Chain A
Amino acid sequence: MASPQKTGTEVPGGAADVGFPPFKTETFASQLLWLAIFFGLLYWLVSKVFAPRLTDVIEGRASRIARDLDDAAAAKAKAEEAGRAYETSLAEAKAKAQSIAQAKRDEVNAGVEARRKALEGDLAAKLAAAEAQIATTKTKAMANVEGIAAEAASAIVQRLGGSAPAKGDLDAALKAALKA
């Protein structure tokens, strides 16, 4: 590009072109100066701008991924916790339902038992009353039977003997007969 023009204008350049270019010491100072300037500039750019930016991005991404993984693990633990809580509450509810059912059953049983007892008591009382009534009726009947027997016996004796027996004899005889 610019080289043909330069070789044309640089007259001493023609003489300097003889020899191995990398070993021409007179060009060293200039190369070192510009290398120091440009490499220094590059170093400054890399250390102050590019490297920190890239470090930020890469470490930011790494920490973001780590944080997201932690969040996911925490969410999983929470979900498992919720699952366990659900299981325990379900078990509790089942136990409670069973105990309620049991209590109700016991209550109902107790009620039934009480009613049965009351009914039985009632029936027993009625039975006793009936028996008592039967007994009184029987006693009454027996008393009547005694009277009737006395009358009948008196009538029989009157008809056979002609005269009614004494009241005292009749009673004693009757008593002895009934006792037998």
Chain B
Amino acid sequence: MASPLDQFQIKPIVSLGKIGNSEIAFTNSSLFMMLVVLAIGVFFMMATAQRSLVPGRLQSFAEMLYEFVANTLKSAAGKEGMQFFPLVFSLFLFVLTANFMGMIPGSFTVTSHIIVTFALAMVVFLTVIGVGFAKHGTHFLGLFVPGGAPALLVPFLVVIEVISFLSRPISLGMRLFANMLAGHIALKVFAGFVVSLGALGIGGILGATLPLGMIVALTALEFLVAFLQAYVFTILTCVYLNDALHPGH
């Protein structure tokens, strides 16, 4: 009986050597990252090959994704936000595809590892800081001073704003990681019940239908979560990028 955590094990496929304690290897995680990018690449290559005025099915879908993300970005960060479109679109596609690919039984979920989601969140966080200071200089720090606050409260508010700003990449990465991890563990646990109960004879097989039904329901829920978390990651990215463009509250 495999542990529910087995599905998250990183297993080297080709080892490339070691740096200190860390093994640099092409792992199952790397393989699925590659498959994710490959799937996105192949899909968009095919979808945008024709670039026809009246789109076909694939092109329609690609345009739908484009406009979905573009509208999210524009509504959160305004028209100037479109300069970040490639980054936001890449993040959305990567997270969405990784989440969905993780739903294939036996596959590996790239986004169920905190280091990956945290790294993606840091990309957003550092972009916000870099662009914020490049565009507004020290005015960017105005982000931490809420307008119209009483002078006495300003120091406290600044501390709170700074903490909330610094916790953004953590919460952004943690949310995606925890959702994917918890969902997959829950699925595996209920699947384990089915197997254990099924081994107990006819009564057990009848009893196993309950967790089996649960798995079906959870799988549907997980598909929703897979999309929803990709969307939440994207919309929060847009909101944070808006701070870089318009730091005044």
- A contact residues vs B (CB 8 Å cutoff): 1-3, 6-7, 10, 13, 17, 20-36, 38-39, 41-43, 45-47, 49-51, 53-58, 60-61, 64
Q: Identify which of B24, B87, B177 contacts A30 (C-beta below 8 A).
A: B24
Residues in chain B near residue A45, CB distance under 8 A = 37, 40-41, 44
When the two chains form their complex, are residues B10 and A10 in contact, meaning their CB atoms are under 8 A apart?
Answer: no
Query: Are B120 and A57 interface neighbours, CB within 8 A?
Result: no
When the two chains form their complex, are residues A41 and B86 in contact, meaning their CB atoms are under 8 A apart?
no
Query: Closest 9 interchain pairs by CB?
Result: A47-B86, A29-B22, A34-B30, A21-B8, A53-B48, A38-B33, A27-B10, A50-B44, A54-B66
Q: Verify if B94 is at the interface (C-beta below 8 Å from A).
A: yes
22 CB-based A-B contacts, threshold 8 Å: A2-B13, A3-B11, A17-B9, A21-B10, A22-B8, A22-B113, A22-B114, A22-B181, A27-B10, A27-B27, A31-B29, A31-B119, A32-B119, A39-B37, A43-B87, A45-B37, A47-B87, A50-B89, A56-B51, A57-B63, A58-B63, A58-B67
Give Cα A41–Cα B26 distance, bound, in whole angstroms: 16
Q: Of residues 79 to 93 in B, which have CB atoms within 8 Å of A's CB atoms?
A: 85-87, 89-90, 93
Taken residue by residue from 31 to 43, chain B's Cβ proximity to chain A (1 for < 8 Å, 0 otherwise) reads as: 0011011001100
Looking at chain B, what size class is its interface with the partner chain?
A: 35 or more
Q: Are B5 and A20 in contact (CB under 8 A)?
A: yes
B99 contacts the other chain (CB 8 A): no
| With contact pairs A20-B5, A31-B29, A34-B30 given, residues A42 and B63 touching in the complex (Cβ less than 8 Å) | no
Contact between A42 and B90, CB atoms less than 8 A apart: yes
CB distance from B200 to the nearest CB of A (A): 26
B30 and A30 form a contact (CB under 8 A): yes
> Which residues of the partner chain B approach A60 to less than 8 Å between Cβ atoms?
53
- Contact assessment for B24 and A46 in the assembled complex, using a CB-CB cutoff below 8 Å: no
Output the residue of B11, B23, B28, B94 with the most chain A CB within 10 A.
B11
B116 to chain A, nearest CB (A): 6
B36 touches A43 (CB 8 A): no
In the complex, B62 has a CB within 8 A of chain A:
yes
**Contact across chains for B24 and A29 when beta carbons are under 8 A apart:** yes
Residue from the list B40, B85, B115, B177 in contact with A32, Cβ < 8 A? B115
B87 touches A35 (CB 8 A): no
Q: B89 touching A13 by the CB < 8 A rule?
A: no
Query: By the criterion CB–CB under 8 Å, are B106 and A1 in contact?
Result: yes
The residue among A10, A20, A38 with the most chain B CB atoms within 10 A of its own CB is A38
Check A57–B59 contact: CB distance below 8 A.
yes
Residues on A with C-beta less than 8 A from B76 are: none
Residue pair B63, A51 in contact (C-beta under 8 Å): no
Chain B proximity of A31: nearest CB distance (Å): 5
